[in-house]
Amino acid sequence: MKKKPIKYAELDIESIGFEGVAVSRLEDKVHFVKGAVPGDKVIARVLKSKSRFAECRVEQIIEKSEHRIEPECIYFGNCGGCTWQMLNYSEQVKWKRQNVIDSFERIGKVEVPVYHPTATSDMIFNYRNKMDFSFGALRWFTSEEVNSDDVFEKKELFLGLHAPGRFDKIVDISLCLIQNATANTIFKLIKNKAIATEMKAYHPYNREGFLRGLVIRHSVKKNEFMLMLITNEVQSENEEAFLNWFANDLQKIEPKITNLIHALNTAPNDANIDSIKILNGPGYITENILGVDFRISPLSFFQTNSYQLDKFIGKIAEYAEIKSDDIVWDLYCGTGSITLPIAQKSKKIYGFELAESSVLDAKSNAELNKINNAEFYAVDLHTKAIPDLLNSIEKPDCIIIDPPRSGIHKNLLNVILEIAPEKLVYVSCNPATQARDCEILAEKYDILEIQTFDMFPQTYHIESIAKMRKKAQL
């Protein structure tokens, strides 16, 4: 079969669109270009071409944009953890806000009187309070390495992040610039020990090997660390010795480590956890939002940028305009990071969440802070039966919604429109589905203003908070 000829296009980059991909228009066709920034002139390789659009990647930069900068990280462009390190920070937040505006104008077709400037992050590196790293037996080689004459040492253990789109290959790293600096020291200690003791990493094809993953969590409030080592079954004295070192000796080297957890995963799927065992410490770290303490257990979800949380949750509370006699619903409440600070302002708040572990954490954190007016339900908000449950609970004056990236399920949207409280606050990490849902909610609600928050510097991700009020005539 004859190979198709490789096509190239010379493009002037105009903007950044969905999921951070740059946009150029040439001969009435939209070109989506990975690796470019607005103002660049590039030679792009055409990977896929349709009648109305083409997908491309940068092959050569002819003229650099004034907004293009040199990435701080040597792994940028390969590991996939960051996507925008080549774009200066002021432009990052500008385009994040613009993507929200574009979503509401093009998808939702909803009028928004005010889009506030994006609330920037004080920390644009070293901000993440959690990183999930993977051990692997197969390393990802960059195109530069493949085309070089270098000879690479044969190894059977690599630690880093999966190469984009690859479940089997690991981008081997020595540090990650978006996690805490001490976390990088801990990362190196564990990696060096694993190599020195000739540990075997899990192989995705023959399904053998001991080390599978490493999770590092950091509490900004107490500057303490929780480590979770994910392994296969222990099958040798050497593996047992490494686990003992992890449990008993690592804290002596880095005293800021207060929790050491061992998680077992014997399944082919990296995301699986069979069981967890607390090897050392109380089994949680503590973070604080607006005066409320949160105990974060090994598998708990918690926003990854602690430095932004007070401002972020504070803005949600401001938009909710809670009165002391208000009944509030918090839909998709997680571990209660919004629920519990809001509880201090309201008469009663109800939190609804699918994950039972998150609900248990929320209840535990309410008890820890002596908050008695918060009630939590472990429930699937997307089922057909959800109207019956929600209609059995006292009607809210305000509903706060913070759904997953897929947005609000139609069953739940119908319930919200039926109950129709005076106040809605819609929090989203996906402006496209937020705009789609707000078009449906526009039957009864107006959007008064939107505030965007940058919780994820060096990436295209954005959090958007919409303040909504019931239409005056209803």
Q: Which residues are catalytic?
A: 429
| H/E element, 10 | strand 7-12
Amino acid letter, residue 272? N
User: What is the SS3 string spanning 337-403?
Assistant: CCHHHHHCCCCEEEEEECCHHHHHHHHHHHHHCCCCCEEEEECCCCCCCHHHHHHCCCCCCEEEECC
Q: What is the C-alpha to C-alpha distance for residues 234 and 232, in angstroms, rounded to an integer?
A: 6
The structure tokens listed for 469 are 């009020």
* Edge-to-edge strands, sheet with 15-16: 7-12, 41-49, 53-63, 29-34, 22-26, 15-16
CB 137 within 8 A of CB 203: yes
Rounded to 10 deg, the angle between the 237-248 and 181-196 helix axes is 160
CB 373 within 8 A of CB 394: no
Could you tell me the sign of the dihedral formed by the alpha carbons of 56, 58, 59, 65, in that order? positive
DSSP-derived 3-state class of residue 43: strand
Other Cβ atoms closer than 10 A to 248: 12
Q: What is the C-alpha to C-alpha distance for residues 57 and 459, in angstroms, rounded to an integer?
A: 18
Q: What's the CA angle centered on 177, arms 176 and 180, to 5 degrees?
A: 90
Q: What is the C-alpha to C-alpha distance for residues 357 and 276, in angstroms, rounded to an integer?
A: 13
Diameter of the chain measured on Cα atoms: 74
Q: What is the C-alpha to C-alpha distance for residues 424 and 422, in angstroms, rounded to an integer?
A: 7
Which residues on neighbouring strands pair with residue 463, listed in sequence order?
453
Q: How many CA atoms lie within 13 A of 230 on its CB side?
A: 25
Q: What is the C-alpha to C-alpha distance for residues 176 and 285, in angstroms, rounded to an integer?
A: 21
Q: How would you class 269 by CB atoms within 10 Å of its CB: exposed for 0-12, middle for 13-18, buried for 19 or more?
A: exposed
- Alpha carbon 308 to its chain centroid, in Å, reads 14
Pairing of the two strands 445-453 and 15-16:
unpaired
